[in-house]
Amino acid sequence: MHFLITAGGTREYIDPVRFISNASSGRMGYALAEAALKAGHKVTLISASDAQPPVGVDFVGVETAAQMFEAVKKFFNKCDCLIMAAAVSDYTPVKKSKKKIKKSKRDLVIKLKPTVDILAWAGKQKVGRQKTEARKIVVGFALEDKDIRKNAERKLKEKNPDMIIANRLEAIGTDRSTVLFKTANGGWQKIENAAKATIAKKIIKVIVRLLY
């Protein structure tokens, strides 16, 4: 299989030196890339993280949500499975200042606009291709601070991935995590307090079973 995996938190620039981002370390995406490689699969990793990529992946470095979307579009047709593990910014500044914004005593107001929903885009592309081309698997992540199953199920329904993986805020930046995952036609399963490498290995196995 050819896995296309996104990782890390994107940066949305306000001016040449300042940006809006999030606390994602990219560890889960990198663990998934490593697990897929060890299982004998081809991996293209699109990353907004500064971490060193696993040896053997085809690496594509990006910074912004727009750059990540362009990279996903470029490689989507070539993959068998897209895993959207990246924490893609939901908003980006309407206008980026070409020069560094100087500090003043006045309040600074930054107007934001929504970024493209890459998972929803992939869910639509997948549906349009299933009748004429080889099936593609799309996997999404849901980071939630409350109503984790309810919110993840809504994402599964509205954005049409084949599988949703849900975790809590406590998972950010840690080597261990508890995740819940659900396929479109299956029930909830749980991997509790496990190393992200262990979680990734199990997730890759589930995805392979979905395709074959």
Active-site pick, 22, 151, 160, 185:
22
Burial 23-50 (b: 16+ CB within 10 A, else e): ebbbbbbbbbbbbbbebebbbbbbbbbe
Dihedrals phi, psi of 73, to nearest 5 degrees: -60, -40
Residue 22 falls in the annotated catalytic set: yes
Give residue 101's Cα distance to chain centre.
31
Task: Tell me which residues are annotated as active site.
Answer: 22
